[in-house]
Amino acid sequence: MKRKLVEDHTTMFSPSAADYQEGDPHRSDGATIEILRRPRGRPPGSRNKPKPPVFVTRDANMSPYVLELPGGVDIVDSTARFCRKQSVGLCLLSCNGAVTNVTLRQSSATPGATVTFHGRFDILSISATVLPPGATAAAAAGPFAVTVAGPQGQVVGGHVVGPLVSAGTIYLVGVNFSNPSFHRLQPMDGQEGDRDSPKTNSGSGSGGAEPTSLYSYPPNDVVWAPATRHQPPPPYCS
């Protein structure tokens, strides 16, 4: 028995979104629904901001100087004129070169005694402080102290008296300063009384030697090494 399937031509309608909206009593015309999503990554403008550069402050009142002096000039006068022209003070640290005919004042039994050394001498060390023009006259009077070596190996030193003439090209290395501050130090309590009444050692003491002051140096003696003489060769004996 064949069954005939009767095709139902009735159209099946599925409800659409418009149907639901029409039947929705809470529907409002023109309303939109937006879904906010969390953005990924860094927000704009949140990159690492450039850091300001680090500046190392340098004291502009102090800088190294190298002075070149030709031969035949006075080192003391040239340095003083340079400081007056630049309106700065200068502290000499080292020197490279030679001088001629040095007059030095050395510590000796005769106060103010000077010794003049004739010839060419290499400068081993130099020390001097030239204050700027605005400094007081008492503080600005700083002598030049040098140590020189002679051609025969002798080494002498002291404070320069008079001109210090260069024998060739001289290179001075120093540090300048502009605004020095002066301070007068007062003795501490009790030191002045000890200075007025010095202590003396008696024979009944422990027998220890009296301590020598740091600044009590013996007088400097100028020792000149004898010149090397070439001995004649012995006569030939047959």
Instruction: Identify the bridge partners of residue 126 per DSSP, sorted by sequence position.
Output: 146
Q: What angle do CA 81, 86, 92 make, to 5 degrees?
A: 65
Instruction: Collect the ranges in the chain with pLDDT lower than 70.
Output: 1-31, 45-46, 55-61, 108-109, 136-142, 190-238
pLDDT value at residue 234 = 59
Q: Which of 173, 86, 161 lies closest to 125, judged by CA?
A: 173
pLDDT value at residue 78 = 94
pLDDT value at residue 149 = 95
Report CA-CA distances (Å) from 212 to 9, 31, 197, 217. Answer: 137, 107, 17, 9
Residue 168 CB partners (closer than 8 Å, separation 6+): 71, 97, 98
The single residue listed with the structure tokens 């004996």 is 237
Provide the residue type at 43 as one letter.
Answer: P
* The token pair that represents 20 in the structure block: 């639901």
**Domain spans of the chain?**
76-175
Arch. (CATH architecture) of 76-175 = 2-Layer Sandwich (3.30)
pLDDT value at residue 171 = 97
Cα 155 → chain centroid: 30
pLDDT value at residue 126 = 95
Rounded CA-CA distance 177/85 in Å is 14
**Is the pTM for the entire model greater than 0.75?**
no
